């Protein structure tokens, strides 16, 4: 067993040594071969630094139409085309879009009307009673005046004298009572009128009308469904006033919100039209940030024109906020700014400038060109340099011929399956069989 272990160990060491020797020979061969520079052409174009974000397309003006009374939906109204109101229907302001069963509100209205008539009758009775009380006061006052002239004597007993006095005082008190009853009846009439107005308004609420011109985005109820209105109105329809004006609500990370300004240019795409780019401007930055999984985001409203009605509500949008732009600038790949040659690759005697630079291919060597970087869009950079011209080749890397050959001959690289070739003689032998 010990002997087998020694054999395996020696075999393993031999494999490692062979691999190391092969790698050394490959390196030695590639070092002797000339290098091939990877180059990119200097372009003149607009370079834009952007902030990326995702968002949702929303109608600019959205109206939630609700019901302020409870009841069953008995029917829907008609849209401008004469069809029953449904998803996507175009409606005009004031059009009837739904009807709620009005039996109970109509009964409440009749009850309120009856209570108002009863209150008016009570007021009339109170006024009549006040007139009677005033008449009684006049009669009691005349009787009391006669009793005062006679006084308590043989012609008028003391009891009769006191009775006339009491009757006069009582008649005066009844006047105040009658006036109070009139005021009470008037208050009852006012209350009955208010109840009647409430009943009339509740009856009118059974007819749901469109508050604006627009398009029905969502219909939340069906015919026969009962809506219940408690503290808030029950939602029935969602109407967009004008689909030609849309907004994109973008969620912008807190790290990028400082670069967003009102009026900033924005471009965005939607998955429904992947080859089309839409434009807009930042309209508002909401200050009520939200936090999700310790990530703070702000909602930015982007206003866009939708005159062609291409954008539909609630599409997902991928936005690019234009933070900085340089027009008609020389653009080089960022890899050209990062690449550094060896001393043997530099043109002999070339003066190497300080700061940022790119390397221009000159035959088998490279020459440095000092540049000033203006902005970086993540892939390429806009640069300035009197020695750099459009169309020049800047080096982004190197490769050798042996590297490409090694990659093609690597046994561990995947290979495409090859169709087995059949010669004519093989076909003839196969046919003979």
CATH code: domain of residue 181:
1.10.287.620
Instruction: Answer yes or no: is 232 within a domain.
Output: yes
Paired tokens of 9: 């160990």
Whole-number pLDDT of residue 142: 75
**DSSP labels for 334-395?**
HHHHH----GGGBPTTPPPPSSSEEEEEETTEEEEEE-EEEEE-SSEEEEE-TT--TT-EEE
89 and 217 share one domain: yes
Whole-number pLDDT of residue 351: 85
165 and 153 share one domain: yes
111 and 179 share one domain: yes
Of the candidates 294, 311, 290, the one whose C-alpha atom is nearest the C-alpha of residue 302 is 311
358 and 334 share one domain: yes
Burial of 405 (0-12, 13-18, 19+ CB in 10 A): middle
Q: Which residues fall within 8 angstroms of residue 402, CB to CB, at 6 or more apart?
A: 26, 29, 30, 33
Of the three residues 177, 204, 231, the one that is the final residue of a domain is 204
Quote the strand ranges of 79-233, DSSP E: 90-91, 96-100, 207-209, 214-219, 226-227
**DSSP labels for 255-294?**
TTGGG--TT-EEEEEETTEEEEEEEEEEEEE----EEETT
> Looking at residue 379, which CATH number applies to its domain?
2.40.420.20
279 and 290 share one domain: yes
349 and 314 share one domain: no
> Looking at residue 276, which CATH number applies to its domain?
2.40.30.170
Question: Are the beta carbons of 171 and 141 closer than 8 angstroms?
Answer: yes
> Looking at residue 86, which CATH number applies to its domain?
2.40.50.100
Instruction: Answer yes or no: is 13 within a domain.
Output: no
Quote the CA–CA distance of 327 and 330 in Å, as a whole number: 9
Q: What is the pLDDT of residues 158-178, one digit of tens each?
A: 776 667 667 777 777 777 877
- The pLDDT mean for the chain works out to 82
Quote the CA–CA distance of 121 and 63 in Å, as a whole number: 46
Asked if residue 317 has pLDDT above 90, the reply is: yes
Helix (H, G, I), strand (E, B), or coil: what is residue 223?
coil
| Residue that wins the pLDDT comparison between 418 and 141 | 141
Q: What is the pLDDT of residues 273-307, one digit of tens each?
A: 999 999 999 999 999 999 988 899 999 999 999 99
Per cent of the chain over pLDDT 70 is: 79
Of the three residues 280, 308, 325, the one that is the final residue of a domain is 325
Of the candidates 257, 254, 253, 313, the one whose C-alpha atom is nearest the C-alpha of residue 282 is 257
353 and 227 share one domain: no
38 and 68 share one domain: no
95 and 215 share one domain: yes
Question: Are the beta carbons of 260 and 321 closer than 8 angstroms?
Answer: yes
Per cent of the chain over pLDDT 90 is: 38
Instruction: Answer yes or no: is 305 within a domain.
Output: yes
Whole-number pLDDT of residue 432: 45
Whole-number pLDDT of residue 34: 54
Whole-number pLDDT of residue 426: 46
Asked if residue 319 has pLDDT above 90, the reply is: yes
Instruction: Answer yes or no: is 422 within a domain.
Output: no
255 and 191 share one domain: no
Asked if residue 154 has pLDDT above 70, the reply is: no
Residue range 317-341: average pLDDT? Answer: 92
Domain count, the chain: 4
- Domain extent, residue 299, equals 49-59+242-325
Instruction: Answer yes or no: is 86 within a domain.
Output: yes
Range with the poorest average pLDDT among 228-237, 268-277, 301-310: 228-237
Instruction: Answer yes or no: is 180 within a domain.
Output: yes
Asked if residue 28 has pLDDT above 80, the reply is: no
Whole-number pLDDT of residue 361: 87
Asked if residue 320 has pLDDT above 50, the reply is: yes
Instruction: Answer yes or no: is 424 within a domain.
Output: no
Whole-number pLDDT of residue 421: 45
115 and 189 share one domain: yes
Helix axes 158-204, 103-150, angle to 10 degrees: 160
316 and 335 share one domain: no
Whole-number pLDDT of residue 312: 92
């Amino acid at each position: 067993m010990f002997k087998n272990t020694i054999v395996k160990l020696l075999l393993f060491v031999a494999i490692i040594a062979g691999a190391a020797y092969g790698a050394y020979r490959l390196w030695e061969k590639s070092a002797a071969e000339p290098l091939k520079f990877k180059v990119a052409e200097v372009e003149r174009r607009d370079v834009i630094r952007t902030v990326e974000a995702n968002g949702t397309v929303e109608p600019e003006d959205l109206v939630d139409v609700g019901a302020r009374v409870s009841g069953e939906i008995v029917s829907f109204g008609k849209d401008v085309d004469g069809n029953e109101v449904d998803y996507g229907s175009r409606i005009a302001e004031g059009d009837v879009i739904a009807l709620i069963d009005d039996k109970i509100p109509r009964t409440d209205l009749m009850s309120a009307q009856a209570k108002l008539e009863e209150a008016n009758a009570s007021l009339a009775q109170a006024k009549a009673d006040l007139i009677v009380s005033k008449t009684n006061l006049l009669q009691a006052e005349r009787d009391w005046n006669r009793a005062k002239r006679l006084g308590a004597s043989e012609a008028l007993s003391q009891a009769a004298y006191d009775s006339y006095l009491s009757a006069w005082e009582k008649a005066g008190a009844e006047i105040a009572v009658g006036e109070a009853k009139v005021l009470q009846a008037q208050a009852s009439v006012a209350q009955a009128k208010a109840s009647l107005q409430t009943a009339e308004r509740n009856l009118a609420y059974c007819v749901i009308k469109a508050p604006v011109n627009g398009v029905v985005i969502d219909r939340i109820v069906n015919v026969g469904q009962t809506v219940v209105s408690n503290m808030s109105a029950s939602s029935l329809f969602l109407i967009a006033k004008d689909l030609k004006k849309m907004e994109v609500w973008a969620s912008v990370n807190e790290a990028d919100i400082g670069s967003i300004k009102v009026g900033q240019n924005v471009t965005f795409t939607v998955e429904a039209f992947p080859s089309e780019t839409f434009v807009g401007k930042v309209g508002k930055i909401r200050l009520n940030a939200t936090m999700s999984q310790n990530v703070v985001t702000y909602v930015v409203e982007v206003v866009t024109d939708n005159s062609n009605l291409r954008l539909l509500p609630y599409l997902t949008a991928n936005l690019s906020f234009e933070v900085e732009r340089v027009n008609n600038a020389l653009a080089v790949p960022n890899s050209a700014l990062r690449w550094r040659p060896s001393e043997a690759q530099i043109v002999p005697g070339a003066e190497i400038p300080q700061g940022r630079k790119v390397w221009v291919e000159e035959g088998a060597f490279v020459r440095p060109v000092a540049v000033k970087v203006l902005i970086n869009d993540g892939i390429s950079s806009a640069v300035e340099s009197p020695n750099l011209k459009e169309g020049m080749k800047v080096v982004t890397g190197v490769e050798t011929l042996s590297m490409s050959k090694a990659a093609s001959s690597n046994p561990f690289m995947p290979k495409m399956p090859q169709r087995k070739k059949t010669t004519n003689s093989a076909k003839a032998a196969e046919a003979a069989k």
